[in-house]
Amino acid sequence: MEGLGPLRDDLAEWMAKTLEIDISGENFMDVLDNGVYICDLANIIHKKAEECVKEGRSNDSIPTAHLKCRRNAKSGTWFARDNSASFIKWAKSFGMKDDCLFESEDLVAHKSERQIIVTLLELARIGYKYGLEPPGIIKIEKEIEQEEEQLPKEEEPRPVTPPPKPPVSAKSRPLNLDEEVRKMAARCRCSEHVTRIREGTYMVFGKAVIIRLLKACGKHMLLQNRHLMVRVGGGWDTLEHYLVKHNPVFAVEHRRKGSIDFLNGDDVLDNDKFLYIKAKYKSQI
């Protein structure tokens, strides 16, 4: 699903490190759908919370009962549904709201992946509260919160053009947020609608948004994966998806088989394709 890939990969790397399991963005749902590892993650957070209370670092009221799950549950079985239901009950006891929770059938039947990711992100926030190392996107959220507490005076929006820097090799040159935002805006053909307000904050189609680079970690660090992420309400979206979604004028190439490609300026030779034009104004005939 559009915009979910970077978040799924980030959560997979976090769970792989925390639980010492083999999970990635590719096998994400297959590994989690019996509910066992989500229950394991919940119990780790539960223990962290108890330690915080015992050491006087938290005054929260922690539920006494730990989460129980059937470790031999097979995918698609009622035991897997029981594990999911047990996790949901535990999450509510820790104060997680209904709108942040997936339903039991979502995990078992690989439905509503977006809601499953929302639940896991909220779980990671709870874990961070009690000292558990968080995924990269949660670290970014906390950095944003700290920055907002010390915001400078508002600056006038200006074009997204990075300052000149001394030449360095492509391998050693760190990614520059402004430069990457400028490249993405140009790629989506909406550079005139993206201006920099201050470091990490941009005016996009008339709305101020926060943009950050989500860096890959662990074994994927060798691939130098970086994703431009936009803060949307309480969640995140990729900048590319956000620009396409909010651009008042763009063209989309459709194939009859169901795939969609955004135009890159190349000639369209396949007769089995057609164009959809989204425009700000409609003509009357």
Which pLDDT belongs to residue 173?
43
**Does residue 166 lie within any of the structural domains?**
no
**Does residue 273 lie within any of the structural domains?**
no
> Of 140, 164, 182, which residue sits at a domain end?
140
Which pLDDT belongs to residue 240?
87
Same domain, 118 and 30: yes
Residue 67 is part of which domain span? 5-140
Closest C-alpha among 147, 238, 139, 249 to residue 200: 147
Please tell me which residue, 61 or 254, carries the higher pLDDT value: 61
Q: For a pLDDT cut of 70, what percent of the chain falls above it?
A: 73
**Does residue 89 lie within any of the structural domains?**
yes
Tens digits of residue pLDDT in 210-230 = 888 887 654 444 334 578 888
Same domain, 82 and 37: yes
Which pLDDT belongs to residue 2?
56
Tens digits of residue pLDDT in 136-145 = 999 998 888 8
Same domain, 39 and 121: yes
Same domain, 18 and 120: yes
Does 68 have pLDDT greater than 80? yes
Same domain, 102 and 205: no
Same domain, 23 and 116: yes
**Does residue 219 lie within any of the structural domains?**
yes
**Does residue 269 lie within any of the structural domains?**
no
Same domain, 109 and 33: yes
- Structurally, how many domains does the chain consist of? 2
CATH, residue 98: 1.10.418.10
Which pLDDT belongs to residue 255?
56
Task: Give residue 168's pLDDT band: very low, low, confident or very high (50, 70, 90).
Answer: very low
**Does residue 85 lie within any of the structural domains?**
yes
Same domain, 22 and 131: yes
Same domain, 80 and 184: no
Same domain, 11 and 134: yes
**pTM exceeds 0.85:** no
Which pLDDT belongs to residue 123?
96
**Does residue 209 lie within any of the structural domains?**
yes
Tens digits of residue pLDDT in 23-64 = 999 999 999 999 999 999 999 999 999 999 999 999 999 988
**Does residue 284 lie within any of the structural domains?**
no
> Of 87, 116, 140, which residue sits at a domain end?
140
**What DSSP string describes the chain?**
-TTTHHHHHHHHHHHHHHHT----TTTHHHHHTTSHHHHHHHHHHHHHHHHHHHTTS------SSPP---TTPPTTSHHHHHHHHHHHHHHHHTT--GGG---HHHHHTT--HHHHHHHHHHHHHHHHHTTPPPPHHHHHHHHHHHHHHT--PPPPPEE--PPP-----TTTPPPPHHHHHHHHHHHTT-GGGEEEEETTEEEETTEEEEEEEEEP-GGGGGGT-EEEEEEETTEEEEHHHHHHHH-SSEEEEEETTS-EEE--S-----TTEEEEEE-S-----
Same domain, 212 and 85: no
Same domain, 126 and 234: no
CATH, residue 178: 3.30.920.20
